[in-house]
Structure 1
Amino acid sequence: MATFLYKLGRFAFRRRRYVALFWVALLALVGFGAASASSAGSSSFSIPGVEAQKAFDLLDQRFPGTSSDGASAKIVFKAPEGQKITDPASKAEVKKTVQAIDHGSKEVASVADPFAGGNSVSKNGEIAYATVTYKVSSMELQDSSKDALQDAVDDAKADGMTVEVGGDVLQAMPETGATEVIGIAIAAVVLVITFGSLIAAGLPLLTALIGVGVGVASITALANALSLDSTTSILAMMIGLAVGIDYALFIVSRYRAERAEGKKPEEAVGRAVGTAGSAVVFAGLTVIIALVGLAVVNIPMLTKMGVAAAGTVAIAVLVALTMIPALLGFAGNMVLGRKARKAAKSTKASGGDADAVADVVAAAHRQPSGEHKTNMGTRWARFVLRKPVMVLVLGVVGLGVVAVPATQMQLGLPDDGSQPTDTTQRRAYDLLSEGFGPGFNGPLMTVVDGRGADDPHSAANREVAQIKKLPDVTAVTPATFNKAGDTATITVVPSSKPTSEETKDLVNAIRDDGRNLKSETGASVLVTGTTAMNIDVSQKLTDALVPYLILVVGLAFLLLMVVFRSILVPLKAALGFLLSVVAALGAVVAVYQWGWLGSLFGVEETGPIMSMMPIFMVGVVFGLAMDYEVFLVTRMREAHVHGESPKQAVETGFRHGTRVVTAAAVIMMAVFAGFISSSEQMVKMIGFSLAIAVLFDAFVVRMAIVPAVLALLGKRAWWLPRWLDRILPNVDVEGEQLHKQLGDGPDEPQGPDADRELSRV
C-alpha cells in the first residue's frame, strides 16, 4: 500500500493543476446539485421488529385511510389572567383564530374546533387546544402556510391571549451557533503554532473545508431521494471537519520532516503520502467500517447517518491523499518554517538548483546533536518509563471514576419537552402539561387484534377495564373498532411525562396484561404511539450497544494485530479504547442526565440520554482512537525492530509523534466542542461526547496508559507466534517495504533534523 501511495503522491504533485481542478469542479458540481435539489420529504421513521412498529403496520391494514404523513400542529390557548377560556370573549377569539387557520392555506386538511366536543378544554376551563392537520409533510409545507399559521397566532396574542404552537409545523432548522466558528478558529491557531507558517496551517483547513463541502453538498442533493434529515448533514460536517484537518495535518507534517532531511519537494511528497498517508488510509478505514457497521442495529435512520458520515470520511481521506500533494506543489517552500524559507529563497536568488535548495533547507533545520532529547515528548516519556505503575494506576482509576455515572444511564428520544424554554413548541408542551397533565403530551395507543378471539368486543372491553386498574393512568378511552369489527384502538393517557420511567413501566404493564388477554381470549394486544415507539427504540439500542462494542473491540484487535504484528499491543489498544468510551459515556450522563455543570454546556432540561448517541459515538471514537494508536505506536515498533530496547523505542515514538498527535487531538476537540451549542439535542450530545472522548483517549489512554503498559511488558509486547505471523497479511502501514525499495532503510526520517520538525509546537 505504501508503494502505491508513494506513486499517487508524486503523480498528484506533478499533475497538481488537474488534481486541483478536479476537486474544485466536483465541489461546484455537487454544490449545483444541492442548490437545485428539492427539499427533503417526510423522513419515514420505521423500526423493523419492534412492537410499536408492528402495531403501526397493523393499524395501516385494519384502519385504512386513517393514518397520515401530513404535518400536524397543536394550537394551545390560555385565557388571560382571571378569565376562563370558555368565557364568551375568549371563546370568540379562539373560534376566530381557528377559522383564520382553516382558511389561511389550501394545504390545511382539517382544524378541530376545541369547543365542538371531545376533551379539548382543561377541567379548570383555562386552557384549550385545537389540532391542525395538513395535506403534506412539514418539510414539504410551503412558507405561505407557515406564515398564515403564525399570523393567526400573532393576532390572537395581540388580543391578550396566550397562544403557543406544538408539533412539527413551525419546527426551526437545527442551528449550531457561533461556537462552531470558534472551534475552527482554535484549529487554525493550533495549526499556525504547530507549523510556524500561515501557508502550511492553511492547507489542512482549506482541504478539510473542500472535503466537507463535497460531502455535505452530496448529502443535501440526495436528501429527498434518500429521506435524509438535517441532523445527518450536521453530523457528517462535524466528523468530516475533524478528520479532514487531522489527516491533512499528518501528511503536511511528514512532508516538512522529509524536507528537513534534504529531500526534494516531489520526493518528499511521495514519501509523506506513502508513509503518513498509509496511516491515514488505515485510520479512515477504521472510522468508515465502524460507521457503516451501524447498519447491524437495523434502525434505518441510524444506518443512514452512519453511511452519510462514512462517505464524508472517505472523501476526507481522498482529499488528503491527492489534493494535499497538489497544494504542496503550488505552495513550494512557503510551507516551511521562516528560517528554511529565507535560506531557500536566498539560494534560488543566487542561481542555486533544486539540489542546492534542498541542502540549505536541511541545513536550516540542523541543530546540535542531542538537542532533540529535551523536547516535551521525550521528557514525558521518560517520566512514564520511570514510574509506569503509578501512571497506569492513576490513569485507569481516574477514567474508572469518571465512568461510574454510565452505570445509571437511561436512554430515550427527545420530545418537545427537551426543547429550549424560549421555543413555542416547549411552551405549548408546558401549557398542555399544566392543563391536561404531564402524560397528555405522550398518549399511548393500545391496539387489540381480535381476529383470534371468539368475541373481539368482549376482549377489548376487558382490556379497557384492566388498563384502568393499572397505576400511573390518568384516562382511558372506550375501545374504537374498525369497520370489520375485529380490531380496536384504546387511547391511554399516562399520569407521568412521556420520558419518565413511570411511563415506561406503564407500557410494560399493558404489554404484560396483553399476554394474559391472549392466553384467555386469543386476542393480541400491541402498544404503539410516539411514546411507545421511543421506548422500543431505546430498548433496541440498549440491547445492541454491548454486542456492537464487542464487534468494534474485536475488529480493533484484529486490525491492530495486522499492523503491529503483536498480540498484546492490540489487546492493550482495544481495552484502552473501551475504557475511554465508557468514561466518555459517564461524563455525558453526569452532564446531560444529572445536570452536573449543565449550565456551562447549555443544558436547559436534564433527562434521558439520546438513544442513538452512545452507539454512534462508539463508532466514531473507535476510528479516532485507532488513529492516535497508529501514529504513536508504529514509530515505537519500527524503532524496536531496528534494534532499540523496548524503553528506548517508547521514548523514540514519543519524540517523533507526541506533539503532532497532541495538535491533532486539540483540533478535534475544538471542532467537536464547537457543536455543543447546537439547538439539536442529538448534535449537542454528540459534540460533547466526542470532544470528551478524544480528551480521554488521546491524553490519558494513548499518552499515559499506553507507554506505561509497554514499559511494563517490555519485549513481550511485541511477541507474535510464528504461525500467526505467516497467516496475517502484511499491509505495510509503516512503509517498510517502500523504504526498502528506495534503499534508505527505516520507514521514517532519522536524526535530529526530522526530530525537530515533528516535535514543533
Structure 2
Amino acid sequence: MFERIAELAIRRSRLVLVVAVVAVALMGAAGSGAFTKLLGGGFDDPASQSTRAGKVIDEKFGGETNLVLLVRAADGRIDTPAAKESGRSLVADLKEEKNLANVVSYWDTGSADLRSRDGRQTMVLAHVKGDETQQQENARDLLDTYTGSYKNTLTVQAGGGAAVGGDMSQQVVDDLVLAETVAVPLTLVLLLFVFGSVVAALLPLAIALIAIMGSFAQLSFLGSVTDVSVSATNLTTALGLGLGIDYALLMISRFREQLAAGAGVDDAVRQTVNTAGRTVAFSAATVAAALAALLVFPQYFLRSFGYAGVGVVALAAIGTLFVMPALLKVLGHRVNSGRLPWVKPGHTGTRASLWGRLARTVMRRPALTALPVLAVLLLAAIPLLGITFGTPDERVLPEGAESRQVAAALRENFNGSDDAALHVVIDQPLKQAPLAAYATRLSRLDGVVRVETSAGTYAEGGSAADGPGNAALGRPDAQRISVVSSLPPRSDQAQSLVDEVRAVTPPAGSLPLVGGVDAELVDSKDSISGRLPIAVALVALTTFVLLFLFTGSVVQPLRALALNVISLGATLGVMTWIFQDGHFSSLLGFSAQPMEVSMTVLMFCIAFGLSMDYEVFVTSRIKELHDLGEDNESAVANGLGHTGRIVTAAACLLAVSFFAFGTSKISFMQMFGLGSGLAILIDAVAVRGVLVPAAMRLLGRSAWYAPGFLRTVHGRFGLGEGGPAPAPGAAAEPPYAEHSTRV
C-alpha cells in the first residue's frame, strides 16, 4: 500500500496537490456553518434520573430556576416604599420578557426565604428558556438590559446556572484568543529553529490546515444529525495543529535525511513514505483508538471530543500520507530553501548524538538511572490517593465574575437558595395527603431547611406555615417538590443528601425523580465512573493489538502501557496536588476544588494518545534497525539517536500549544492545558529518554518475544517499518549473553 502511495505522489504530484486545494476549499465551505449547529453544555447523562427530572419540569412546570437576580436596595432596606415600587416595576418588566418564565419575587409572594437576613437584599428567581446554548445567549441579552442600577433605587446582579454558563462561555472565548495569541507566534518561531529553513517550517501548516478544515466540515455534518458540543472546536484547532506538526516533522526529517545521504528525490520520497509514512499510519491509529474511547460515554460533551479527535487524527494522517509526499516531490532539494543563517549547509539530518549517548549511558547502568526517575514519578502520583471529582460551577470563574459574587452572597446572606435546591418530581397524579406526608419525611433529613410543595411548606418534620402551599408546584398530572438545604452546593454533604432524598419512602405507587445541581453531579460521576473501566479496557486492548501488529512482540505493548500508566499517574497526581489541594492557587489565580471529572477524563485520553504517538515514533526506528541486524543495545541507542530530536521537538511544539491554556482564567481550562503539556514533556524526556532504554536493556532479547502462533499472525498481518516482517520463528537477534546487566 505504501509503495503505491509513494508512486502516486511521484507520478501525479501536481494532480494530488490540485485535488488537495479543491478539497480544502470545499471542506472550508462546508465547515463554515459548524458553529450555528453546535451546542453548549453536554455534561449530563441524558438517561440519568436528574436529566429526566429536568425534562418533566421543563414540560409541565415551565423549567427549573436557572437565573437568580440579586437585588440590593441602594439606600436602606428592600421594604421601603421606594424599593417596593421599583422592585415591582422590575418584576413586571421581567414577566413581559418572552424568553423568561416562572418569575418569582419577594414583592409578589412576601416569602421571607427570598429576603436576606439583614433585609437589604432579595432574590428574583426565573427560568431562562431554550437549550443550554440558547439559555446563555438569552441570559446575556437580558442581563445587558437589567443588571446594574435600576431606577436609581436598586442595584441588580445576576447569578444562577444561565448566568454562570454565560460568564464561562465568554471567558473561554477570551482565554482561547489569548492562548492562540501566545501559542501561534511561539510555535512558528520554534518551527523555524527546528527545521532550520523557512520552506520546511511552513509545510506542517499545510497538513494542519487540511486536518482543521476537514474536522470543521465533519462537525458541521454531525451537528446536523446529533448533539455536538461547541467545545470540540477547540480540540480540533489545537490537535490539528499539533499532529500536523508531529507528522510533518517526521516525514520532512526522514526526507531530508535521505537527501543528505545522497538519494535522489524520487528514491527519497519512496523511502520516506515506506518508513515514516508507515509510522504515521500506525501512530494515527493509536491516537485515534485512545480518543475513540470517549464515544462510550453518554455525555455529548465527551462524545463530541471523540468525534472531533478521531476525525482530526484521521485527516492529519491522510494529509501527511498523500499530500506531504507530493509536496516533497515538487520541492525536492528546495525543501531546504530559506535556510537560516546559523544553520550549516548539510546539517539537515535528524541524527542527535546527545540522545544516542544518553541511551547508551542509561543502558550501561539501567537500574541506577531508571530507579530515581521512577521514584520521582511515583512520588508525583501520590496525591491521586486523595482525588475527588466534581463538575463546573461558579468557582471555576475569577473571583471578580458577577455570577460568582452572587453565588457567594446567596450562601452567606440567605437561608438556603432555591437555585441550588433539589427538585423532586412525581410525574403522575397525587393527592395532597400523601404529598404532605412525603414532604414531612423529607424535611426531617439533616441539612434540609425547608420543603416546598403545592400542599404547603414543611420544616423539621412539621408544617412551616399556615395556609395553602405554592400552587405553581402542582399540576393535575404531576407534582414538584423543592428541597432547600443549608449545605454548600456540590459539597460531599450535599451529594450525600441526594442519596438520602432518593432513599426516602415515596407515596405508594409513585416513582419520584430527583434533580437539581447536586443530583446532576452525583449522576454525572456515577455515569462516568460506570463507563470508565470500559473506556480504559478498550484503550488498552486496541493499543496492545496495534503495537503488536507494528512490532511483532507482545512484550513491547505491555512495556509501553506500563510506562504510559506511570507517566500519566504522575501528571494527574501533580494536577491534583495543584488544583484540588490548592498549591500555587494564588499564583495561578484559581480556587481549589475537586477535579473536574469530564476534563480529567479528556486529559487522560489525549495525553495517552499523544504518548503512544511518540512511542510509535521511537519504537519504529528501533525496530527498523533491529530488523536490519543490529543488536538490541545498538538498535535502541541508534534508534533514539535518530528520533530523539524529532520527539523532543514535536513534544515542545505541542506542549507550547497546551501550556498556553495556562493563561486561562477558567480553572479547569488551566488544569487541562498545564496537565496535557506536562504529560507530553514527561513522556518525551523522562520516559523516552530514560525509562525506554532502561527497560529495553533489562528486557534484552525478550523485548521482542511473541509466542509462535502470534509470530505467525504477525508474519501474515503485521506491518512494520522497513519492509515485511521477519519470517515466523526467525531469531529476533543473536544471543544476548555477552552483555551483562550492571547496576
Paired residue for 1:706?
692
Q: Distance in 2 between matches of 1:471 and 1:442?
A: 16
Q: Distance in 2 between matches of 1:696 and 1:479?
A: 58
1:86 aligns with 2:79: yes
Q: Distance in 2 between matches of 1:397 and 1:65?
A: 58
Paired residue for 2:267?
267
Contact 1:444/1:491 (CA < 8 Å) preserved in 2? yes
Paired residue for 1:544?
531
Alignment deviations for residues 615-653 of structure 1 (CA, whole Å, 9 cap, x no partner): 222322222121111111222222223222211111111
Paired residue for 2:647?
661
Instruction: Report how far residue 551 of structure 1 moved.
Output: 2.8
Instruction: Report how far residue 48 of structure 1 moved.
Output: 4.4
Letter of the aligned partner of 1:375 in structure 2? Answer: S
Instruction: Report how far residue 537 of structure 1 moved.
Output: 0.5
1:623 aligns with 2:609: yes
Paired residue for 1:431?
409
Letter of the aligned partner of 1:615 in structure 2? Answer: V
Alignment deviations for residues 179-211 of structure 1 (CA, whole Å, 9 cap, x no partner): 333223332233222211121112113431442
1:200 aligns with 2:200: yes
RMSD (CA atoms): 3.4
1:501 aligns with 2:492: yes
Q: Distance in 2 between matches of 1:434 and 1:462?
A: 31
Paired residue for 1:575?
562
Paired residue for 2:178?
178
Unaligned runs of 5+ in 2: 456-472, 728-743
1:607 aligns with 2:593: yes
SS of residue in 1 equivalent to 2:61:
coil
Paired residue for 1:734?
721
Contact 2:38/2:223 (CA < 8 Å) preserved in 1? yes
Paired residue for 1:511?
502
Alignment deviations for residues 492-540 of structure 1 (CA, whole Å, 9 cap, x no partner): 12222222111111112222334xx58xx55444322232012210122
Q: Distance in 1 between matches of 2:340 and 2:159?
A: 63
Contact 2:282/2:550 (CA < 8 Å) preserved in 1? no
Alignment deviations for residues 67-107 of structure 1 (CA, whole Å, 9 cap, x no partner): 449x9532211234x7212222233333333344445x544
Q: Distance in 2 between matches of 1:209 and 1:438?
A: 51
Q: Distance in 2 between matches of 1:226 and 1:504?
A: 31
Instruction: Report how far residue 441 of structure 1 moved.
Output: 4.1
Contact 2:28/2:216 (CA < 8 Å) preserved in 1? no
Listed as ranges, the matches of 1:335-350 within 5 Å are 335-336=335-336
Contact 2:41/2:132 (CA < 8 Å) preserved in 1? no
SS of residue in 1 equivalent to 2:107:
coil
Assess, with a 3 A threshold, how the Cα gap between structure 1 residues 426 and 311 changes in structure 2: closer, same or farther.
same
Q: Distance in 2 between matches of 1:339 and 1:702?
A: 30
Q: Distance in 2 between matches of 1:87 and 1:408?
A: 51
Letter of the aligned partner of 2:322 in structure 1? Answer: T
Q: Distance in 2 between matches of 1:158 and 1:241?
A: 51
Paired residue for 1:75?
69
Letter of the aligned partner of 2:706 in structure 1? Answer: L
Letter of the aligned partner of 1:115 in structure 2? Answer: W
Paired residue for 2:463?
none
Q: Distance in 1 between matches of 2:434 and 2:12?
A: 73
SS of residue in 2 equivalent to 1:674:
helix
Q: Distance in 2 between matches of 1:366 and 1:553?
A: 37
Q: Distance in 2 between matches of 1:264 and 1:649?
A: 26
Contact 2:563/2:687 (CA < 8 Å) preserved in 1? yes
Alignment deviations for residues 535-557 of structure 1 (CA, whole Å, 9 cap, x no partner): 21012212333442233223222
Contact 1:13/1:269 (CA < 8 Å) preserved in 2? no
Which one of the candidate residues 48, 51, 58 is aligned to 1:50?
A: 48
Contact 2:135/2:162 (CA < 8 Å) preserved in 1? no
Contact 1:433/1:440 (CA < 8 Å) preserved in 2? no
Letter of the aligned partner of 2:496 in structure 1? Answer: D
Q: Distance in 2 between matches of 1:634 and 1:261?
A: 20
Deviates more, 1:23-32 or 1:549-558: 23-32
Unaligned runs of 5+ in 1: 344-360, 741-761
Letter of the aligned partner of 2:373 in structure 1? Answer: G
Instruction: Report how far residue 705 of structure 1 moved.
Output: 1.0
1:461 aligns with 2:453: no
Deviates more, 1:662-671 or 1:3-12: 3-12
Paired residue for 2:61?
66
Which one of the candidate residues 437, 440, 450 is aligned to 1:475?
A: 450
Instruction: Report how far residue 134 of structure 1 moved.
Output: 4.5
Letter of the aligned partner of 2:61 in structure 1? Answer: T
Assess, with a 3 A threshold, how the Cα gap between structure 1 residues 216 and 683 changes in structure 2: closer, same or farther.
farther
Q: Distance in 2 between matches of 1:595 and 1:385?
A: 39
Instruction: Report how far residue 271 of structure 1 moved.
Output: 2.5
Instruction: Report how far residue 256 of structure 1 moved.
Output: 0.9
Percent identity of equivalent pairs: 28
Q: Distance in 2 between matches of 1:296 and 1:135?
A: 30
SS of residue in 1 equivalent to 2:663:
coil
Instruction: Report how far residue 366 of structure 1 moved.
Output: 10
Contact 1:291/1:309 (CA < 8 Å) preserved in 2? yes
Contact 1:12/1:323 (CA < 8 Å) preserved in 2? no
Alignment deviations for residues 51-73 of structure 1 (CA, whole Å, 9 cap, x no partner): 3234445x36xx9532449x953
Letter of the aligned partner of 1:66 in structure 2? Answer: F
Instruction: Report how far residue 147 of structure 1 moved.
Output: 4.3
Letter of the aligned partner of 1:506 in structure 2? Answer: L
Paired residue for 1:95?
88
Q: Distance in 2 between matches of 1:185 and 1:342?
A: 20
Paired residue for 1:114?
106
Contact 1:2/1:732 (CA < 8 Å) preserved in 2? no
Letter of the aligned partner of 1:120 in structure 2? Answer: L
Q: Distance in 1 between matches of 2:512 and 2:151?
A: 44
Q: Distance in 1 between matches of 2:63 and 2:214?
A: 35
Assess, with a 3 A threshold, how the Cα gap between structure 1 residues 682 and 314 changes in structure 2: closer, same or farther.
farther
SS of residue in 2 equivalent to 1:720:
coil
Contact 1:448/1:460 (CA < 8 Å) preserved in 2? no
Q: Distance in 2 between matches of 1:182 and 1:337?
A: 27
Assess, with a 3 A threshold, how the Cα gap between structure 1 residues 99 and 326 changes in structure 2: closer, same or farther.
farther
Paired residue for 1:349?
none
Q: Distance in 2 between matches of 1:558 and 1:626?
A: 13
Deviates more, 1:530-539 or 1:269-278: 269-278
Q: Distance in 2 between matches of 1:250 and 1:54?
A: 49
Q: Distance in 2 between matches of 1:91 and 1:333?
A: 81
Which one of the candidate residues 680, 705, 714 is aligned to 1:694?
A: 680
Q: Distance in 1 between matches of 2:686 and 2:636?
A: 16
Assess, with a 3 A threshold, how the Cα gap between structure 1 residues 450 and 125 changes in structure 2: closer, same or farther.
same
Instruction: Report how far residue 17 of structure 1 moved.
Output: 4.0
Paired residue for 1:751?
none
Paired residue for 2:481?
490
Assess, with a 3 A threshold, how the Cα gap between structure 1 residues 366 and 618 changes in structure 2: closer, same or farther.
closer
SS of residue in 1 equivalent to 2:148:
helix
Letter of the aligned partner of 1:504 in structure 2? Answer: Q
SS of residue in 2 equivalent to 1:445:
strand
1:584 aligns with 2:571: yes
Paired residue for 1:293?
293
Q: Distance in 1 between matches of 2:668 and 2:232?
A: 10
Q: TM-score, normalised by structure 1?
A: 0.84
Alignment deviations for residues 334-390 of structure 1 (CA, whole Å, 9 cap, x no partner): 3227789999xxxxxxxxxxxxxxxxx9x94599xxxx9982112211211122102
Q: TM-score, normalised by structure 2?
A: 0.85
Q: Distance in 1 between matches of 2:395 and 2:713?
A: 56
